[in-house]
Structure 1
Amino acid sequence: MNNIKSRLGVLYPIIAAFTVCLAILTISRQLLVVWQWDRVADTDGFLDVAISGLRIDISSLCYLFILPGLLSALVSSDTVVGKVWHAILRVWITFGIWLLVYMEAATAPFILEYDLRPNRLFIEYLIYPKEVMSMLWGGYKLELFLGTVVSILSVVLGWKASRYMVSSLTYPKWYWRPVLALIVVALGIMGARSSFGHRPMNPALVAFSTDPLVNDLVLNSSYSVLFAYKQMDAEADAAKFYPRMDRKEIISEVRNSMNVASEDFVSETQPSMAYHEAANQGKQKNIVILLLESHGARYVSELGGLDLSPNLDKAINEGWAFTRLYASGTRSVRGIEAVTSGFSPTPARSTVKLGKSQTGFFTIADLLQKKGYHTQFVYGGESHFDNMKSFFLGNGFTDMQDLPTFDNPKFVGSWGASDEDLYDHADKQFTQLEKEGKPFFSLVFSSSNHSPFEYPDNTIEQYNEPKQTVENAVKYADYALGQFIEKAKKSNYWKDTVFVVVADHDARTWGNQVIPVDHFRIPAIIFGDGIEAQKDNRLVSQLDLAPTLLSLAGISAKTPMIGHDLTREIPKEKQRVMMQRDKTFAWMTEDNQVVVFLPEQPTQTYKYDFKNDHLIKSDVDAAIIKRANANALWGSMAYREGYYKQLESYK
């Protein structure tokens, strides 16, 4: 042991403490796996939990020890400064051991209560120490006692162990210290990121199961809580930025903006929950959402844009096309949020990435899965990007078909397999599911039209030079989509499926206007067997697509979605769109009146000149401002209060 200590020198305390902490986390995880063995076995996930858990633990401990490792390399010595540092290091090591032990000791009681590792609730409870201590004392006396004993033991033993770790060290020559420091930092950063890619380690990267607890077992509780704390910074509440309203007023205005009869609302605790009768009363159909990356209306000639999307133009003339449909945001996750859950945009990050919506949050995938549908996400890249995989697996999607599931893709770029490969894979999936007689819901998300705009050679006639421009990528994305549509028309699943092709957002939302309205306009076409060709000139939001698809597929259900079922007549006064750009919220009515809310600024009102794409300062009726205000506040309130909880049954 002394020989090892001599060889490792000033880094011995760091490496020894790292090893002790890693052993603590590994043993704790294995005990939890044994405890929850039936659920782990059901997912065949023992190796996934063990291997990915090791990655998470190494990443966590690198964050914990990178700074003391750097300082030890630079100042650890027999001098006064060195001895002071050794005292600080002992405190650091002892605290680190205590924190990890305490959080792991708290894990089992938390799982018993919430069926998850400690998360944001653990942090929120710290705000109310009196109430929490009363709860613990009332129902968790044994756990409190054991936690106290374990905490005391970890501090005592950690302090004693740290004394040995920092004693009798060998010290390097001064000229080796900077080299040693650089090595420590390099290894620490690599370990913390646990990836050579452009995205560091995160829970979505290691999620593999539809069981949220099994995915949580991969984590350690310290990591889980700290990650939740980091996420909470993104959960900006609209009430902090926009004019406040009474809760009852918000609910009343939101309900009145929905195209739902008062008797169809079914819950006071979930105010937007209402029964929606499907227009299709015949055989239920499959649903496929073809979500196009960054494909704004300005790239579609039938919508007044550039002639870059001939296949979309063809679909517009053959299907049910919306000429005035607007995205709810400017990011892919905002589009995903809109089309899968019908959730209105907020100044926070999308619910795809927020902590409270990772499980138990309404999506049409959860509804359809409970009705016997096979629910899947098909994506040519890495499904953990932007936390998609974690959100989907926790909220009704059961099948992740991403790049590792593709057989010999023809072309793989920075964002994964090409759109041609994506649609070929999707077609194979749909064909197999149809053959097995399984109804299915699939979200197919393209990626070729994304910087750096990589796509296969010799597939399209280039619009401009160089090859990798957004215009050429749009043409390629349209080309691949057109191939898929033609293949789908000849398939066995065509007659039983409702398709929608819609963009997630425009390629860019730029300009000097307070809200660049035209950059929110996107193409959307519903098509499939039995869908009549029509150009729908009503003002439509991305939020309206999910309710419409359910109606066309014959799914009558209770849902919390506030969007309109477009198979029905929508009064002009209820046609509206919501547009969120960072913390700016805009509400536009059918007659192009626009209300804009900016953080802590007076409400701004405009008339939108559609022809010239220009906002003109104009007065807007107070009732419209009030309704816009309520809807701007609704999303944050619905998220915070749990109005979007999943139901046991959607009947």
Structure 2
Amino acid sequence: MFIEYLAYPNEVMKMLFNGHLLTLALVCIFLITLSKVCWTFLDKIIGLDKPINRVSIIFASLSCFTMLLVFFLGARGTLGHRPINPSLVYFSTDPLVNSLTLNSIYSVAHAYKQFGNEKNAAKLYGIMDNEKVITLIRQETGLGLHAFKDNTQPSRSLRLPVYQGKPKNLVIILEESLGAQFVSSLGGLPLTPEIDKLNKQGWAFKQLYATGTRSVRGIEAVITGFTPTPARAVVKLDKSQQGFFTIANLLKDNGYTTQFIYGGESHFDNMKSFFLGNGFTDIVDFNDIINPQFVASWGASDEDLFNQADIELTELHNSNKPFFSFIFSSSNHDPFEIPEGIVTPIEYTAEQLSKYGSRERMRHKAIQYADYALGKFIDNAKNRPYWKDTVFLVVADHDARALGRDLVPIKNFHIPGVILNSGKAYLSDERVVSQIDLPPTLLSLMGISNHSPMLGQDLNASEASGRAMMQYAENFGYMQGDEVTILQPHKTPSNFVYDLKEKTLVRTPLNQELADIALAHALWGSLAYKNAWFQHK
């Protein structure tokens, strides 16, 4: 993540100076002091100001060769067939503890190397015959093998909608860093009364899981339906910048106006390039927002974002063309800058005060504000002409943080999601659901027949099986019901049962059938990207 964010110095520097200025100052003072102490110490030990004795060329050459050899062996880390890599020194089920065994400079260099050399899942998790991969991923869509007839695009299938009337509009609201741990109706803190209210009005998913821990991973899942991989999200990859499948491409071909609305700068995380190359016809970002009332490090506030969204949706409705609008919030992002006087902090117990420091309580206020702005927008939208014929999805991109001792901290992939105007009465869906299930479900609710390569299930089908997949750094988790298989680099699969109530993993004997399904899905993304199997047409 450190290496990826170096590509966006403006946003990162604003975040650091506005939210972590004291920390930066203290670190700089410490480093300057440490440098002075080290210089003084070295001067006393080796006398840096003393004249240097000349040595022979032969001796200097031998010394240089010896030093380079030592450096090479140190970098390689072993005399074995394979050089050292991070997985060789992992010893704990806690990823944070494992990372502490690595040299910091090595970790940054390794991340930089991987940044330019996208990871291939087969090199991490093992190989499987391509035909078996294709058979298993087709099987798990629930469509039946007869639905797949295009061998050049192995996952492409015809999907028929449950809604048969005039095709509806679509608005997706992607909420920044909002995990279930902050939503009381999902067992979390009472920070989101508006989302709790929406969960009682629409089709609410009680066990919805994100595919990753970054916004681009959430965008990848919700907009393309692509499965997570150990490489970067397709939003950033070279071969997916044009002609890659997205629901925007699909809807554009069906006569829809397709739009992205963001309060910040849309070039961040390569969003603008990916969207313009894959079906979005209109980009609205910070420079387009009319008279923003509060501007933070990441752009206009969520209230300003939604005020502009209301203007845009009204114009789209008045154009008498169907539309798809994708709205991405940002107020709930470090350094958590929000307008004053709107949010009243919740009352904390003594135990909670000891658990949540001042920084975390700032996050809580930002979540409260984001929830307030969302609720205000939805209440307003219900009185607008565009509400009647529009399906709305409110969903998080990922949780705020994914930490813990587990190989994959599943509880930190649990996120809120609710569909409004679905045509269904209030529904509390207890099935395990993945973010990649949302696009095909929405298209079905909208009345859009389509040929698509998505692997997600249409949740309108009662027989849709509950499963989710999660990419956590280089670990891949596949959950079916309460059973979980976790794949680690260069290790055998591990099997667990996940207690949905206690949110804990208990190790169990290996389920080979589930392990094969997990491996097929872990390998699929790399295969589909490499072989151009996830193209729009």
Shorter-chain TM range is 0.7 to 0.9
Aligned partner of 1:611 among 487, 493, 501:
501
| Structure whose residues are more often helix by fraction | 1
Matches within 5 A, 1:325-336: 325-336=208-219
Shift in CA distance, 314/605, structure 1 to aligned 2, threshold 3 Å: same
**Structure 1: distance between partners of 2:368 and 2:184:** 12
How far the C-alpha of 1:467 sits from its partner, in A, is 9.9
Corresponding residue for residue 99 of structure 1: none
1:342 to 225, 241, 246: 225
Deviation by residue 1:200-252 (Cα, 9 ceiling, x = unmatched): xxxxxxxxxxxxxxxxxxxxxxxxxxxxx989724211011002100001000
1:319-330 residue pairs with structure 2 within 5 A? 319-330=202-213
Deviations 1:408-445 (A, max 9, x none): 10101000000001111111100111111121111100
1:587 aligns with 2:470: no
Q: Does 1:302 align with 2:192?
A: no
Q: Does residue 142 of structure 2 align to residue 259 of structure 1?
A: yes
Alignment partners' CA distance in 1, 2:423 and 2:492: 49
The one-letter code sitting in structure 2 at the alignment partner of 1:444 is I
In structure 1, the partner of 2:67 is none
Question: Aligned match of 1:499 in 375, 392, 396?
Answer: 392
Distance 1:468 1:358 in 2: 39
Say whether the 8 Å CA contact 1:379–1:422 is kept in structure 2: yes
| Aligned 8 A contact 2:336 2:363 in 1 | yes
Where do 1:55-94 residues align within 5 Å? Answer: none
Contact preservation (8 Å) 1:232, 1:354: no
What letter corresponds to residue 615 of structure 1 in structure 2?
Answer: L
1 or 2 for the larger relative contact order (CA 8 Å, sep ≥6)?
2
Match of 1:439 in 2: 322
CA distance in 2, matches of 1:328, 1:467: 24
Distance between the aligned counterparts of 2:224 and 2:299, measured in 1? 26
Per the TM alignment, residue 466 of structure 1 is displaced from its structure 2 partner at its CA by 7.2
1:468 Cα offset (Å): 7.0
Structure 1 residues 621 and 601: alpha-carbon distance in aligned structure 2, compared to 1, 3 A threshold: closer
Q: Distance in 1 between matches of 2:415 and 2:510?
A: 25
State the one-letter code of the partner of 2:497. Answer: K
Q: Distance in 2 between matches of 1:295 and 1:468?
A: 14
Shift in Å at residue 380 of structure 1?
Answer: 0.1
Residues 413-428 of structure 1 aligned to structure 2 (within 5 Å):
413-428=296-311
**Residue aligning to 1:315:** 198
Distance of aligned partners of 1:412 and 1:358 in 2 relative to their CA distance in 1, 3 Å threshold: same
Structure 1 residue identity aligned to 2:384: S
Cα shift at 1:531: 3.6
Q: CA RMSD in A?
A: 1.5
Q: Which of 601, 618, 623 is equivalent to 2:491?
A: 601
Residue 455 of structure 1 is matched in structure 2 by 338
Q: Name the counterpart of 1:139.
A: none
2:460 is the counterpart of 1:577: no
In the aligned structure 1, how far is the partner of 2:360 from the partner of 2:145? Answer: 55
Displacement of 1:582: 1.2
Change beyond 3 A, Cα 1:585–1:426: same
Deviation at 1:259, TM superposition (A): 1.4
- Match among 439, 445, 449 for residue 546 of structure 1: 439
For residues 298 and 121 of structure 2, the distance between their equivalents in structure 1, rounded to whole angstroms, comes to 33
Pairs aligned (count): 416
* SS of corresponding position for 2:385: coil
What code does the residue aligned with 2:469 have? M
* Aligned-partner Cα distance in 1 for 2:422–2:205: 18
Q: Which amino acid aligns with 1:397?
A: F
Moved more, 457-466 or 282-291: 457-466
Q: By how many angstroms is 1:526 displaced?
A: 0.1
Q: How far did 1:481 drift? A: 0.3
Whether the aligned pair in 2 keeps the contact of 1:452 and 1:468 (CA below 8 Å) is no
Alignment of 1:640 onto 2:530:
yes
State the identity %: 51
Indicate conservation of the 8 Å contact 2:181/2:189, yes or no: yes
Residues 298-321 of structure 1: CA distance to partner in whole angstroms, max 9, x if unpaired? 111010000000000000001000
Distance, in Å, in 2 between the alignment partners of 1:239 and 1:466 is 40
For 2:260 and 2:491, locate their aligned partners in 1 and report how far apart those are by CA, in whole Å: 40
How far apart in 2 are the matches of 1:251 and 1:467?
Answer: 44
Structure 1: state its 5+ residue gaps.
1-228
How far is 1:605 from its partner? 1.1
CA separation of 1:467 and 1:349: change in aligned 2, threshold 3 A: closer
Q: Deviations over 1:14-71 (max 9, x none)?
A: xxxxxxxxxxxxxxxxxxxxxxxxxxxxxxxxxxxxxxxxxxxxxxxxxxxxxxxxxx
Deviation at 1:263, TM superposition (A): 2.4
CA contact (8 A) 1:496 1:529 kept: no
Aligned partner (choices 499, 521, 525) of residue 631 of structure 1: 521
1:399 aligns with 2:289: no
**Partner of residue 405 from structure 2, selected from 512, 515, 520:** 512
Structure 2 Cα separation of the partners of residues 513 and 536 of structure 1: 26
Name the SS for the 1:487 alignment partner: helix
> Deviation per CA, 1:517-561, whole angstroms, max 9, x where unpaired?
000000000002734211000110000000000000110100000
Confirm or deny that 1:567 pairs with 2:460: yes
Structure 1 position 284, deviation (Å): 0.5
Aligned mates of 1:283, 1:619 — CA distance in 2: 50
Indicate if the aligned counterparts of 2:422 and 2:445 stay in contact, CA closer than 8 A.
no
Distance 1:365 1:631 in 2: 24
Aligned partner of residue 344 in structure 1, secondary structure: coil
Name which one, 1 or 2, has greater alpha-carbon Rg: 1
TM-score (norm 2): 0.76
2:178 is the alignment partner of 1:268: no
CA contact (8 A) 1:231 1:355 kept: no
Which residue identity lines up with residue 603 of structure 1 in the other structure?
P
Answer yes or no: is the 8 Å Cα contact 1:593–1:620 preserved in 2. no
Query: Paired residue for 1:162?
Result: none
For the residues of structure 2 that align with 1:389 and 1:476, how far apart are their CA atoms? 26
Q: Point out where structure 2 has 5 or more consecutive residues left out of the alignment.
A: 1-111, 348-357
Normalised by the length of structure 1, the TM-score is 0.63
